[in-house]
Amino acid sequence: MAGEALTQRQVKGILLAGFIILGFLLLLYVLKPIYPALTISLVVFYLLYPIEARLEALVKHRWLAMLLTVIFVLLPGFIFFFYVIYRVAVEMLSLLSTPEAREALAVAGINAQGYIAVLQHELESLAKLSVEDIPRLLTSVKGYEAMLQAVFGGVLGFFKTLGGAFFQFFLGALIALYLVAKAEGIKSFASSIADSRVVAYFSYLDALLRQIVYSIFLTALFTGLLSYGVYYAFALPFAGLLSALTGVLTLIPIVGGWLVYAPMTGYLYFAHGATKAAFFFITCVAVLSVLPDVVIRPVVASFSGRVPVVPLLVGFIAGTASLGAKGILLGPIIIFAALGFIRIFVKGED
């Protein structure tokens, strides 16, 4: 009878967990357009909530604590992040102003002037346009259609991407603030759930997310320190500034470090030749991209012992490969949602 009762309990647990996972997957599908905002909100929440809770214990008022958190933590953080992006753009423009870069761009400038001369000739011919020339004009315009579409499409695409990024950041910050404000209510609701396995399941995911978020920032710190050694070894100018930029941009998984060392590879190519540039690029890929994302981040996230390093590594790599930067959280969540289901609802572990 005991074995039969245990089997029935397991079946009920599996059905309940199945409904939870199904609802979770449906929710992920509905929220797909705002995946970046949700990722940002989770990161910001797990960073802000401990600070807000400590401030609330001091000032004894939740909304005052939230206001102080926004003014002295959230806003300076976002301003600093966008300032770093601005500094990257400034450094890239400074790179283009070097004599080696100007010499390389001169070749492209001559080609660009050639295209401009052809377009000016076509425009001047409009003054002598006759009815017989209309088919030739249409053919000529047709020849430049792809180029015009590429230019205007690129400009519109840039502003669309920029606007979308600001929207996702703003929405993510709002969701994070809402979660901070409702954190105690969410905890009370979770503790009121009758089934202890459901409570254990969500507690498991909560601990996982906290570890992942902290691992992202610790990885950025380690990567910044490693990058300083690489930049100093290759005698790059402003090695300290570049390493700080690399550390901050490593918060963007997979692509973060590229935003700094890719332009520096171009600088070394123009200044010291292809051999040194290629060696620098290979070193940066290995030390500043592969090592942080494949080794440091999973190991740091698994320090508590509750999270196995191999599934975490699979979640990081598969998530970022399939979903981009937002997959740094969603990938491990999906992997460990399944593992937690098996551990808690099937095996009956706590």
Question: Has residue 282 got a pLDDT over 60?
Answer: yes
Kindly state the average pLDDT of the residues 144-160.
Answer: 58
Question: Has residue 229 got a pLDDT over 80?
Answer: yes
Residue 3 corresponds to which tokens in the numbers above?
A: 């074995």
Based on C-alpha coordinates, what's the Rg of the chain? Answer: 27
Task: Provide the whole-model pTM.
Answer: 0.66
pLDDT confidence of residue 1: 42
Place of tokens 């960073």: 47
Query: Please, are residues 266 and 258 in contact by the beta-carbon 8 Å criterion?
Result: no
Eight-state DSSP code of residue 195: -
How many CB atoms are closer than 10 A to CB 255?
A: 14
Residue 30 corresponds to which tokens in the numbers above?
A: 């509905």
Question: Has residue 70 got a pLDDT over 60?
Answer: yes
Question: Has residue 214 got a pLDDT over 70?
Answer: yes
Place of tokens 């969603």: 330
**Residue % of the chain over a pLDDT of 70:** 71
Residue 331: partners with Cβ closer than 8 Å, 6 or more residues away: 314, 315, 316, 317, 318, 319, 320, 322, 323
* Spatial distance between the Cα atoms of 99 and 13, rounded to a whole number of angstroms: 69
More confident residue, 176 or 24: 176
141 — pLDDT class (breaks 50, 70, 90): low
Question: Has residue 108 got a pLDDT over 70?
Answer: no
Q: How far is CA 221 from CA 243, 251, 311, 334, in A?
A: 10, 10, 23, 26
* Spatial distance between the Cα atoms of 96 and 31, rounded to a whole number of angstroms: 41
Question: Has residue 89 got a pLDDT over 70?
Answer: no
pLDDT in tens, 286-328: 988 888 877 777 777 776 556 677 787 788 778 877 777 677 7
pLDDT confidence of residue 250: 80
Query: DSSP assignment of 266-306, as one string?
Result: HHHHHHH-HHHHHHHHHHHIIIIIIIIIIIIHHHHHTTTSS
Tell me the three-class secondary structure of 220-261, residue by residue. Answer: HHHHHHHHHHHHHHCCCCCHHHHHHHHHHHCCCCCCCCHHHH
pLDDT in tens, 232-278: 999 887 788 788 888 877 876 556 778 888 888 888 887 788 899 99
* Spatial distance between the Cα atoms of 68 and 79, rounded to a whole number of angstroms: 16
**Whose CA is closest to 270, among 107, 56, 33?**
107
**What are the phi and psi torsion angles at 193 (to 5°)?**
-65, 130
Percent helix, strand, coil in the chain, to 5, is 90, 0, 10
Question: Has residue 279 got a pLDDT over 90?
Answer: yes
pLDDT in tens, 195-211: 787 788 888 888 888 88
Kindly state the average pLDDT of the residues 111-137.
Answer: 55
Segments making up each domain of the chain, as ranges: 32-192, 194-350
* Spatial distance between the Cα atoms of 97 and 91, rounded to a whole number of angstroms: 10
pLDDT confidence of residue 7: 65
More confident residue, 146 or 73: 73
Query: Please, are residues 151 and 56 in contact by the beta-carbon 8 Å criterion?
Result: no
pLDDT confidence of residue 128: 61
Question: Has residue 280 got a pLDDT over 70?
Answer: yes
Query: Please, are residues 191 and 199 in contact by the beta-carbon 8 Å criterion?
Result: yes
- Report CA dihedral (258, 43, 165, 259) to the nearest 10 degrees: -10
